[in-house]
Amino acid sequence: MGARLRRRPVPEGKGETRMTDLKQLIENTDGISDYKINEKRTLSTELFFVGRKLETARNTDVSDVSVTVYVDHDGARGESAFAVLKSMSEKEISEKLRAAVKRANLVFNKPYEIPSGGKEEYAADSSMKNYDGEELAEKIAEAVFSADTYENGSLNATEIFVYDETVKVRNGKGVDKTSNSVRAMIETIPTWTTEKISVELYEALNFTEFSAEEITEEINSKMKEVRDRRTAVKPSAGVIDVVLRPKETEELMETLLYGLSYGAVYSHSNVFKKGDKVQKEIKGDPLTVTVKAKIKGSRYSADFDEDGFTLKDKKIIDRGEVVGYYGSYRFGQYLGENESDVTGNVKCIEVDGGSLDEKKDLNRYLECVSLSGIQVDEYNDYIGGEIRLAYLHEGEKVTPVTGISMSGSLSAALGKIRLSAERTAREKYFGPTKVLLPDMNIV
């Protein structure tokens, strides 16, 4: 990298309590019906670059502890939570517990049980666990700067973080679960500078599997995008097929799934229910979506949720039809779900591939590269978004375009949606690499 790693120690975070037995303090407090203790310790290696120059390198060791107390009163269940700081004495924690009991008595939720269980430990499921944090951070930096090869392009600033996290959940029903995970994050600002103008983009890349080639390829694609952003033009308004990449497809699927959570159904904020057709008339590819506890490479993968409930995979949409709901143990109880069917707070999404063949099926279309965020409104049957950068494909001709927005009918788009057979993983999403929304309005 050209610069030697310098260490700047950072003291342990305030979250680490000196208490030898927080559990005993809780159990000695009057009025508590149940409790939960959440603990998280994060060891990190962090590199900060200006240009290619390493300015700062440091290690951190941060711990966070929180306590949630549950109080049954007047036919209801109340809860209240607080953080346990490193500086707190036993007396201060006891005072916090008594105050939490008082607050919980003011909350009137429908009664529910917290998960029960025993002691379980889960090791990190990542190839990165075999690396030392400093070694891995340096390898990531080398992969990032391997893409910094353009005459007018540069990486203005780059920050690299390697995290080794241990999460623990304990409760009054015997749950004592611990998991370890390793992940990394890259934040960088690809910049393109000429005599007349300077254009920059922000890129954040998160992963739990290390591949130098994939990192270099991703950063290289962002360098090309910032280059093309400088020369992008505004196209004519009209109707055109739009192709989404995984980032926007993930947002679309998250919106569809949000209304199918136990919480949304219980509060009657859902548009669709079991048996409804999300795709009323399928003229494209049928949509099948599954919530997943784990996706390889995703930082959202987990063995259990914040309540200590073991996560489960579950198909929610099957060939365009809603076949299930998902969510926390609490709201699963409210809906009368069998415990064996409750998923817990799963975060990952898998979408089945379809029949879209890019070479055969696409001729003139708009490939979205950067949106301000896809906008989906199920109530008003709307899908759209502001397009910051896209590529207009017209046969062999490809033109960078910007300064436009797309819009259309959500139900029509879902009915005609086309999904590529090739699938890729990104953040919490594993699904089609490209998704086609036909006949979108561009202005």
Query: Residue 17: its pLDDT value, please?
Result: 40
Q: Is the pLDDT of residue 121 over 90?
A: yes
Mean pLDDT of the chain: 94
Tens-place pLDDT, residues 185-205: 999 999 999 888 899 999 999
Q: Is the pLDDT of residue 11 over 90?
A: no
Query: Residue 12: its pLDDT value, please?
Result: 44
Q: In the structure, what pLDDT confidence band is assigned to residue 359 with cuts at 50, 70 and 90?
A: confident
Instruction: At 105, list the tokens.
Output: 């008595």
Q: pLDDT: is 15 or 174 the higher one?
A: 174
Query: Residue 83: its pLDDT value, please?
Result: 98
- Give the residue among 342, 340, 344, 263 at the shortest CA–CA distance from 303: 344
Q: Is the pLDDT of residue 64 over 50?
A: yes
- Cβ proximity of 39 and 167 under 8 Å: yes
Long-range pairs of 262-269 with CB within 8 A, sequence gap ≥ 24: 262/325, 262/326, 262/327, 262/328, 262/331, 262/332, 262/334, 262/335, 262/337, 262/342, 263/327, 263/328, 263/331, 265/325, 265/335, 266/331, 266/334, 266/335
Across 335-352, b (16+ Cβ under 10 Å) vs e yields: eebeeeebbbbbbbbbbb
Q: In the structure, what pLDDT confidence band is assigned to residue 360 with cuts at 50, 70 and 90?
A: confident
CATH assignment, 8-224 = 3.30.2290.10
Q: What is the mean pLDDT of residues 75-94?
A: 96
Q: What is the mean pLDDT of residues 268-282?
A: 95
Query: Residue 195: its pLDDT value, please?
Result: 81
Tens-place pLDDT, residues 122-132: 999 898 999 99
CA gap 328, 330 in Å, rounded: 5
pTM recorded for the entire structure? 0.91
Residue with tokens 């998704």: 435
Burial class (CB in 10 A: 0-12, 13-18, 19+), 301: buried
CATH 3.30.2290.10 location in the chain: 8-224
CA gap 275, 323 in Å, rounded: 6
Query: Residue 339: its pLDDT value, please?
Result: 95
Query: Residue 2: its pLDDT value, please?
Result: 44
Percent share of the chain, pLDDT over 70 = 95
Q: Is the pLDDT of residue 232 over 80?
A: yes
Q: In the structure, what pLDDT confidence band is assigned to residue 219 with cuts at 50, 70 and 90?
A: very high
Q: Is the pLDDT of residue 1 over 90?
A: no
Instruction: At 243, list the tokens.
Output: 């192709």
Q: What is the mean pLDDT of residues 116-124?
A: 95
Cα 341 off chain centre by: 23
- Cβ proximity of 217 and 198 under 8 Å: no
Long-range pairs of 385-394 with CB within 8 A, sequence gap ≥ 24: 385/248, 388/229, 389/225, 389/228, 389/229, 389/232, 390/366, 391/228, 391/366, 391/367, 392/235, 392/366, 393/362, 393/363, 393/364, 393/365, 393/366, 393/367, 394/363, 394/364
CA gap 47, 56 in Å, rounded: 6
Tens-place pLDDT, residues 150-187: 999 999 999 999 999 999 999 999 999 999 999 999 99
Please, which residues bridge with residue 170 across strands?
37, 176
- Cβ proximity of 418 and 225 under 8 Å: no
Query: Residue 3: its pLDDT value, please?
Result: 47
